[in-house]
Structures are given as structure tokens and as C-alpha cells.
Structure 1
């Protein structure tokens, strides 16, 4: 019984569909089907009940899935320990939203560089949909995504800290003189909205629908949105701590009632990480160990 076949099996368990599992594994469907059949023959039992669109684990399959997870977990841990003191090199790609909590990842990167100076980490500023697409395609190893977000495809670590929502406005705007802005102020503004999640996310966060808003532009990086605000296009709905408004023509005014978003460090479920990527994950986990729940 090969470890590779166990990984195929667990991907099928996760996806409940051999075609989807094959696509995630980047292996042809006939190959995955054949390996599954050979595994069942070797074990002398049926692991899945086949349906029209999805497949479900049999009782034997559920037991074997649990054992397979433990086997692979122990294997990966053993290999990591064997190679712990060896020099690790390679490139790791992280797609990240703009978030204060990236500081935790940055601190982990600093420690990683001191321990493994031949690992190069490449940060790409982007939004959650792009992170998901590039994780699935294998371009990114990890992502930093803002809440709320569907994490059903991910293993993840919640990062500490939250960022508060508000409006980025010109200093000359009457809103700049207020301590906070209300949802009514948001609805009455010419709005520049974040692309991530679109109107559904705005509704989840604030209870506002597309019909309530006057949207003039969207953005995926708040810096670009800040240029639109400076040009008088509208007010940008976004998170605090991203744009430094000191000695600028802009002011960030927080929203009331207070609305905040946290973020998570994510990677694909079932994804086998490179040694360099595993080293980064281990360092992020170590960075959070004192505050882990």
C-alpha cells in the first residue's frame, strides 16, 4: 500500500467525486479510479457507495479514512523531523489581502529567513477570489483572506487582531469632521466598494443591499481606491490601518455600529506542501503558539 494511494483516497473522500478529486490531484481520472479499485482489492472491502453524482463512504471506508489520516500525519511529521536540521531552499507564494494581521505573517517570515535563508517568499497582494483560484491552480501555496469567507476548501489558521470598517473620505468632506459614520452616511455616499465578495459580502456585513447603495467604482487594493477618493470620485468603504492618512488629503472615519473583520492564513485541504512551504507553515504556527486557543 503506497502513501500516494492513501493521498488519492483521502482526496476522493474530501471531494466525494472522483472527477473532482482527479482535477485537484492533477492526475487523470482513469488513473485515480484504477488506484482506488486496486486499493479496495488489496483491503478486500468496498470503501465507497457509488451514486449518480457523488460517492459516500461505507462503514469500512469511514474507518479506513480515519486510519489513513493518522498514517499520513505521522509520516509527514516523521519526514519533517528527519529534515528539520537540513538546509531547505525553494520559493513559496502567498496571496494576501490587505490586512493588519499580515504583521503576524511578516514576523514569521523574519524568523523563517533567519532559520532558512535560502527560502524565498513571494507576496502577492490580491483578493479572496483570486487567492482561491491560484491555490486551486497551484500557483499560490498559501493565502491570507478576510472574513467573512467560505473556508470549506481550506485548512486554516485564524490570525490575531481585527480591522475596523469605515469610509475613506477627502479632508474637505463634511464626513471628515465626524467621529464616526453611520450606515445612512454610507448609503448616501458615492461609494467605491471592495470587489471581494461583492454585494453579497456587503449585505452580510452591514445588511445593505445593492439597491441601498450608489456604487460608482470597485477596487481590490485600497491604495488604488484612495487615489479615486483623492480625485473626488467617491468615498471608499474599507478597513482601517491600511492607508496612512497622515499628512495627506484623506481621513479614515470608522463606522458605527462598530463592524470589524478578522483574517485567516489558509491553504488547500489535502494539499501536499513543499518543504519550503511546510517550513513557513511551521513558523506561522510557532509565531501563534503563545496565543493559540
Structure 2
């Protein structure tokens, strides 16, 4: 597969119409159709269902789209970093879950962008396993992971000072709202909303002792929209402290767990890959930020 053909394929995915994609690519429709047909023959699969007005992806087409986007992103990143290998330029890719540690990282990113305007920053949300996979494949330069850390992986790591303390957010009218802390039995009585990261967390499973007794009604990657659901009923939103900023006027409150669950934050990167200049600068500034606080 050629990168050029993958770019053609992604253009058709975006436009959902071969004529429109051909116009955007500045090539003829017959030429584009032929390139796509050759790609299908090379792969031995059908990538599109071809309709009169619009084409749709097959299951194999969706699979190729996901991986083609990663391949093109990696190619673009490699080209940019090689082109600017002797100056602070290029692109920096960071993956992170929802954590207060992202504030320190964004402060560093802001510093870099202000002083090196040619640098482009890309930030992706995801859980730890997703971030680790993208780092291993070269899609991300760095990732911020929370909770237990697998030291068998081929990652370098830097522990960040910020820790994540678990608790729940409930409405101030909730039966649990006046309690000073929450024990496992409390969460068994009410519908629970948790992050996908927490659902896979050994720390939380060990704390609640019997996860099967929990009534988990929803999961999330980003918690902001879930607060509106919590305001409507007896839901408990399990979340890190200070991840949602609750104003004094808010009808929501945060209650810590007892015993406490603390997740540590780590910055990780691939130990087998040489960092670009901008990635080395980012790591240097982050280390200095941590050192200056001690």
C-alpha cells in the first residue's frame, strides 16, 4: 500500500462520494476509482458499498480507515520532525486520561508554543491501555497514565507530583450528601456512573470488595456532561477530586472514599525510540518544573 493511495482512500471516506473526493484531490474521477479498485484487489477485500449518491464503508473499510489514519499521522509526524531535526520545531503528540496532572503538562505546552511558534501540539484523550498502545506504535510521543504501572513494558517513566484521590459527586439533595465519607456499602445502594479507566482499575475493585453488587448504569471518558445527569436523580458519579470544578452555587458536592484510593500519575514514553528535539525540550521543561517545587 502506498501512502498516496491511503490518502486517496481517506479522502473518499471523508467525502462519502468519489466525485467530490476526486475534486478535493485534484484528480479525475476515473483515475480515483481505478486507484481504489486496485487497492481492494491488492488487499483482497471490498472496502465500500457503492450507492447512487453516496458510498458507505464495509466492516473491512472501517478497519482500514482507523489504521490508515494512524499510518498517515505517523508519516506526517516523521516528515515534520525530520524536516526540522536541528531546530525546535515539528509536532508533539501527547495522550492523557482525565487527571489534574494535565494542568502542569498544559503549562509546559503553553511555554513551548509561546517560545517556539512553529511547534504544533496534539493532545488525545484515552485510557491507559489505549495510550500505551499508541506510544508503542509510534503514534504518541508521551502519555500520562494513572493508577498501577506495568514495569514490564518498554517505557521510560517520570512520576508526576499530582495524585488523584477518588470520591463521588452527588446532588446536595442526595441521601449520601451529608456523609463525611463513602464506604463500599454506600455505593451498592444507588446507581453508579464511573469512568472506563476506573472500571478496569484493580485499586477500585480491591476497595469495593464485591464489584458485582454495584449498579453501574453508565461509563464515561469525559465527565463534564454527566454532572447534568447527577443533578437529576440519585446517581453517584465516581471521579477524581477536583476534576470537576464545583462552584459554591452548584447543586453538587464531592465526598471522599474511606479508606482512601489514591492513583498516581506517570508520564511515559517509548524507551526504544529516540525523542525529537521538541520532545526532549518538553521532557526537560517538565523535569525542571518538578525539580523547582522540591
TM-score of the pair, normalised by structure 2: 0.64
Relative distance call for 1:205 and 1:122 in structure 2 (3 A) is: farther
Answer yes or no: is the 8 Å Cα contact 1:180–1:254 preserved in 2: yes
How far apart are residue 270 of structure 1 and its match?
0.9
RMSD: 2.4
Task: Give the Å deviation of 1:151.
Answer: 4.2
Provide structure 1 residue ranges, at least 5 long, that are not aligned to the other structure: 1-82
Alignment-derived partner of residue 18 in structure 1: none
| C-alpha displacement of 1:97 | 1.3
8 A contact 2:131–2:143 mirrored in 1: yes
CA distance in structure 1 between the partners assigned to 2:217 and 2:203 by the alignment: 15
1:163 aligns to 2:164 (yes or no): yes
Residue number in structure 2 paired with 1:111:
111
More displaced stretch, 261-270 vs 197-206: 197-206
Indicate the residue corresponding to 2:197 in structure 1: 196
Aligned to 1:135: 135
Give the drift of 1:200: 4.8
**C-alpha distance after superposition, 1:197-245 (max 9, x if no partner):** 6355254551423323121111122224323323437211110111112
Q: Separation in 2 of the partners of 1:90 and 1:141?
A: 12
- Residues 216 and 233, structure 1, Cα contact 8 Å, conserved in 2: no
Q: Which shifted more, 92-101 or 123-132?
A: 123-132
Residue 176 of structure 2: SS of its match in structure 1? helix
- Contact residue 166 and residue 237 of structure 1 kept, 8 A: yes
Contact 1:104 1:159 in 2 (8 A): no
Q: Which residue of the partner structure matches residue 50 of structure 1?
A: none
Describe how 1:122-271 pairs up with structure 2 within 5 A.
122-153=122-153, 154-196=155-197, 198-232=199-233, 234-246=235-247, 247-271=249-273
Runs of 4+ in 1 over 6 A off after TM superposition: none
Q: 1:94 to 1:233 in 2, by over 3 A?
A: farther
- Partners of 2:209 and 2:120 lie apart in 1 by 42
* 8 Å CA contact retained: 1:229, 1:235: yes
In 1, Cα distance between equivalents of 2:166 and 2:218: 18
Cα drift, residue 183 of structure 1:
1.8
Q: Tell me if 1:276 matches 2:283.
A: no
- CA 1:174–1:234 in 2, change beyond 3 Å: closer, same or farther? same
In the TM superposition, what whole-angstrom CA distance separates every residue of 1:90-128 from its partner, at most 9, and x where no partner exists? Answer: 111111111112222123223323443322222222221
Give the conservation status (yes or no) of the 8 Å contact 1:164–1:240: yes
CA distance in 2, matches of 1:242, 1:128: 17
State the secondary structure of the residue aligned to 1:251: strand
Q: Which runs of 5+ in 2 are unaligned?
A: 1-83
Query: Structure 1, residues 25-69: CA drift from partner, whole Å, max 9, x if none?
Result: xxxxxxxxxxxxxxxxxxxxxxxxxxxxxxxxxxxxxxxxxxxxx
TM-score normalised to structure 1 length = 0.64
Deviation at 1:264, TM superposition (A): 0.6
How many equivalent residue pairs? 209
